Amino acid sequence: MLSLGLARVSEAAAIASARLIGRGDEKAADQAAVNAMREQLNLLDIKGVVVIGEGERDEAPMLYIGEEVGSGKGPEVDIALDPLEGTTLTAKDMPNALTVIAMGPRGTMLHAPDVYMDKLAIGPGFAPGLVDLDMSVAERVKALADAKGCGPEDIKVCVLERPRHEAMLNELREVGVQIRLITDGDVAGVIHCAESEKTGIDMYMGSGGAPEGVLAAAALKCMGGQIQGRLLFRNDDERGRAAAAGITDFNRKYSRDDMVTADVIFAATGVTDGSILAGLKRRGEYTETETILMRSRTGSVRRLQYRTRDA
């Protein structure tokens, strides 16, 4: 029942934010998703605490880190969420905008501060530790290509298009891989690796938000696959945020199971059309959404089609 409740939370956020698709207003789209997600979360019979959210309490009026959500009845749980993963994608009506939420027992998710994280991910079916953040770009590609029985030219790597990745992109091009650049949405970028036959993506690498790294780890814990992450700090203020979150080893390399240590439920709903989920559609007086709902304990992956009459 909690799984279905979580699906309703992500669906409500998608429906609310979809009214802002293509309107050019990122903040309004995000706020609409936040409002709807919070309202639905508070209907669930849980004692929830947001550990990955919209930011620190002084930065985010709702769904801030540490906020208590739910009815106050039921199990004590950690909540990791991104009410609208891809605010720019939504504002510009570009692919792969999602609403994302994960839930696990209290104390089982990394309290990642709002800093960058260096990430490396591949899909399921490979030996543990096949690729590693301490490998060079060429070594990562070669290891995966050897395991797949193909050449580097048959490997496709997903990378967030940012100036900070220019050197890494040059190395990837020297190796000869195919590269898919994405403008936003690195949770979706990592999830692509878990369904490589569908998406064509074999590996994800590069730096992005640490909170999104935890959400991506939750998804891969359900779908299978490997992810490593290492926090990156630009200044003492960011190190202070990490210390406040209880992190003592600033150079630690986190595996998937370090970031999400126990059973987790994960739900994501498409806002705009993408390679993982269909975006929201309006057909006459009805609105239709597609949600992926997963649980790590059983390895179950459900795709839910939801139709509701417009208010």
Q: What is the DSSP string of 5-38?
A: HHHHHHHHHHHHHHTTTTSS-HHHHHHHHHHHHH
Q: Where in the chain is the domain with CATH 3.40.190.90?
A: 116-259
263-306 pLDDT, tens digit per residue, is 999 999 999 999 889 999 988 889 999 999 999 999 999 999 99
As a whole number of angstroms, the distance between CA 183 and CA 159 comes to 9
The superfamily (CATH) of domain 1-107+264-309 is Fructose-1,6-Bisphosphatase, subunit A, domain 1 (3.30.540.10)
116-259 has which fold? D-Maltodextrin-Binding Protein; domain 2 (3.40.190)
Pick from 56, 16, 58, 59: which is nearest to 34 by CA?
Answer: 16
Q: How does the average pLDDT of the chain come out, rounded?
A: 94
As a whole number of angstroms, the distance between CA 212 and CA 255 comes to 14
Annotated binding residue 252: no
Annotated binding residue 72: no
pLDDT above 70 for 311: no
13-48 pLDDT, tens digit per residue, is 999 999 999 999 999 999 999 999 999 999 999 999
Annotated binding residue 30: yes
pLDDT band at 245 (very low <50, low <70, confident <90, very high): confident
List, edge to edge, every strand of the sheet that includes 253-255. 178-182, 156-160, 203-209, 116-122, 226-232, 253-255
Annotated binding residue 185: yes
Q: Where in the chain is the domain with CATH 3.30.540.10?
A: 1-107+264-309
Annotated binding residue 186: yes
pLDDT above 90 for 61: no
Annotated binding residue 162: yes
Sign of CA dihedral 261, 83, 244, 217: positive
Annotated binding residue 54: yes
